[in-house]
Structure 1
């Protein structure tokens, strides 16, 4: 196993990426091959896989077992949970989310891709683009994942036929482009054999593009959010009972985007009260400036009533607060989401009561048409919703911020996650005309 020095590791960039595809398309095998051939697997891990494979009567190690860690997954031979893996090469560090392919677990693909900068969507070369492929492409587009890789797998089972690959790549790229996916890179691979995963394939001399790992190492990563609208969702109010700091009151949280500096005028939402930052504590030490993804404690000049769920923003760049939210959602629960459904809406660190006012449309994945006023969304449906909240929320457009422009809907009875939403997102299709005669029955 190659050794990466501390200096090399600190100099590399980080890429978060997710894998997706239908059942048996070979996602787990691809991830296992990627880890194995890039020498990112420890000896004891490989030995455990070899023993598990031998106990199942397999002559060669089943590399899919490197990610399919749950016993239920191994018994069923499918991935049912998001498996996160961390590895590095001398050129880049990676956080990988291997997401489920089964339709029943599409909700986990939303989880895995929500923070990704790149999505690898696998297609079985024998089957081509199927409905689940289109669903994964639609979710990647909704989540605004900037890069997509189409990995046409199992090329060894179609005789490494260039025409098969070209037809699948053309169909998928056209579909993804219509969805608004900004970039698609198609790569023909065989995860089982190792063709074009880490090393170039000797069986496809007609292909002159990068291997999967080469593309992952070189794709531009633009996840620096320090230039975005600064946002700090308050997670906790710190008031230590200490004789040294009897008046200490700090507001702790992870900066979702942008940067804050001492002396900056800020506004607390939804109250709208303004003050200045008098200090910033980072890992127990005072600093003058802090930026996105850092967990900090802000100290403010004025004594303002602030609690968990509030949002601290620069006064010159405060988002509007609203009780009416329009969004595109992916419904992930088994129970349907219906008009009039009373839910909890979690936005950042704040959770409020809400009601589904309207479901204007549902997306049809085959031709990307919108089915007007479906009345409900069932598991894995993607559609538009209008929601009324009991309290005003400071929401950004998802196009401006993936963190503060997103939310989830929760069943208030048992805490089940119902829906993942993106504020303001929509596909390029006209919205149906609202029926003004309907009785909304609001009591908020």
Structure 2
């Protein structure tokens, strides 16, 4: 199961795409890479003087089509600018390579939030606060944590038009089948452990036929347990926070209980995630880590399914109703030929009407409070549960470091090593802390 719980994170996980080398190349290129030769269109103007913007997006399929409607709307309303949208779905390294090579698109929203600070710190983006100040965009319309996440080192580096929440989807019908009350899902880790055990179905040979939950994604669960991954004031990586160690030890109990090798053999037989054969839909997985976007998956592939959402149960001293968020951010790369026109486009797609239209079509949460609380979103009780998480105190974006993408990659590796029994939780997280701190120290020197 993909550990990045946004809808686009799921798609990104299936598409692949190596970005590490491209991020490194940004650093290697220095502060101001020289632009490569460009065509007239790439230079920011057509022969008739109209500004021509190349916009690269990570959305594809029906999401691309939904966004194209907004692009067409902008082009119709702005006769002096033409936006040409291209998807780089599955080719995310292309974005960073283009910026590093000095021949970037004019607008890009295939920049993941966990990469934003890295790109900004390496002088790959244009700060936007002057534009925002001029247009009186001060963050008051946005969820506070979202607005804060797009800032680093005193600058605003981008805006998003969709965000996601982390929740657990659970099969109400299977809860009933084993004698659990689906109207009162577990609220604590102790209750979750007991109920998932009741939901597990293992045959006489010890093979898994169904499991209640296989927790994955240490970043979310570490926060749920009350941990902190980064001390921003002191620039210190804290992956070995005792609460995070506790979370990883807890995740290990599931890998041992179910036997990680049998779990992987079981998961190898799962049907396509985006199909009626999704493991949750066919009852092989009773509780699944998802987001609000999952509602549209169910509607499309398993209409009528008896399921609901719950927030992650927390231990004593943990964080109830905890969610992380990430996703993509609209940015203007360094070297864009017409940043004023680029900003006009970003401002346009961020307007309430356009943001709401797109977010509703793809079933994501708008990062503006008023838009997110429109009846078309919150009339669905499941969607409302996700929106309500953003009004709480336990809402977290990725750590603001120039090496967060590296941090997340190595965190996944540490989690896997622990689950497979090759490392102990404390040792794995001590090693992770040192490894990422060394990378961070090097990045901060540049």
TM superposition score normalised by structure 1? 0.25
Which has the larger Rg? 1
Q: Identify the structure with bigger relative contact order (alpha carbons < 8 Å, sequence gap 6+).
A: 2
TM superposition score normalised by structure 2? 0.25
1 or 2, which has the higher strand percentage?
1
1 or 2, which has the higher helix percentage?
2
